[in-house]
Structure 1
Amino acid sequence: MPGLSPWRVVVLQAVVALGLGALGWLVASEGVGASLLYGGATVAVPGALMARGMTSRLSSISPVASTLSVLAWSGIKIAVSVGMLMLAPRVVADLSWPALLAGLVICMQTYWVALFWRAR
């Protein structure tokens, strides 16, 4: 069975974030929609960076290089996520923390969808 591409997961996260943002904007307000979108981006952008790093040639040279790559890109992913959360009040006008956290959690849960894709 071929492995699941990390890019499919990142694209799914981005699509979910865009959908949440649009839904929040339509149902509640522009601030809620932007907060939901930014919460999803806080998952998708670092995920894309990690996917890029993990699929590079350098990370597949040897098992040691692959292990070090996972550790390094995991650290980068966490740092970018924390940085984006710290910048949220400056980036999102009318920030709604509950909406941002809801967008973040919902987009994180797309990993479950990836597991179901792989199981099929």
Structure 2
Amino acid sequence: MSAIANTISRRQWLAGVWNPPPTMSPEPVSQLAGQRVAVIQGRHCLAYRSLFCSTCVERCPVEGAIDVHEGIPQVVASVCTGCGVCHDVCPAPQNAVLMIATPKAPNP
């Protein structure tokens, strides 16, 4: 087979009919959970701009992972599982929830 036969055409890409080989598939979210934690960026969060927004708190599947103090959401890193639901549902024009890798503990 030629190298051209394994590439995607512009028409296939735009039509969404091309299926990437298994080696190109992204990791499922379940494998990434626990390796990252949510951080709310105040400059993008609607609640930090004195607008009412509690979407991340309402949709978070982990009880107590996001606390609200005076209308402002704050992630409790020790409780957050890194599932990414808050990131996916954030309604801010520029997503206010950033998923960052959790620091690895040094080996004793």
For the aligned pair, the TM-score class normalised by the smaller chain equals under 0.3
Structure in which a larger fraction of residues adopt strand: 2
Structure in which a larger fraction of residues adopt helix: 1
Query: Which has more radius of gyration?
Result: 2
Of the two structures, which has the highest relative contact order with CA contacts closer than 8 Å and spacing of 6 or more?
A: 1
| TM-score using structure 1 length | 0.21
